[in-house]
Amino acid sequence: MTILVGSYTDFEQELIVSAYFCSNKLGKESVALVEIAEYFDIGSNARWVRNAIADYWSNGLSKEQRHSGSTSAQRIWLTSDGLRRAETLIQNGVSPKPHDHAQLEVVDSSRWTGLPRNGNLSDSNVLRLKSVLQRVDHAVEASNATNADKSQARAYVLAITSLADAPEPPADLIWLLINRASNLAGIAAFFVSLAALFQVTAS
């Protein structure tokens, strides 16, 4: 018998990150599992779902308690601690798993990050962005994506890196490229995570 070590931990982390993105996408504080599943692959292990919902509530990460109804009706309402937890996981490379059919259109940067449309990134944020770009590049290379998708993703990474190296890195153009890259089939999750980091660190 094969024992999968850490699989539940991975699931619990990916689920809270998926809830974070789904909440942003739908503009809702509380999202149901059925809503999250419209955009992300959250698996079908009902026991893990119930445990995760209970863990989030008991640790102050969600305002929603586990109930006895259907698994798909279970809800997640991230508290401030829950939002910070999701953002920390994103910065550490935890990615949701978008369905290929999901249209994960990232919202306008002037609303999501507080950036002016023609703003520039600070030196500290450029360093963070470039660090995550390196992680994205390594993750893409290690992924099961096709060679064509990998090449396209690398092209975006190189373009974003070049803009980050500019004397006055243009936030709007960098955001546009991240947004475009987040629609790549098979690669989207890496750039969706990068978009979230951009949200957290941009100023």
Distance CA 3, CA 21 (A): 30
Query: What's residue 58's pLDDT?
Result: 94
Better-scored residue on pLDDT, 9 or 91: 9
Q: What is the mean pLDDT of the chain?
A: 76
Better-scored residue on pLDDT, 86 or 132: 86
pLDDT tens-digit readout, 31-54: 999 988 888 888 778 889 899 999
Distance CA 131, CA 93 (A): 11
Better-scored residue on pLDDT, 187 or 133: 133
Q: Determine the Cα angle at 89 with ends 38 and 81, to 5°.
A: 90
Query: What's residue 176's pLDDT?
Result: 76
Distance CA 27, CA 37 (A): 16
Closest by CA position to 64, among listed 101, 22, 32, 24: 32
pLDDT tens-digit readout, 113-162: 333 334 667 777 788 778 778 877 887 787 777 888 888 888 888 998 89
Q: CATH top-level class for 7-91? A: mainly alpha
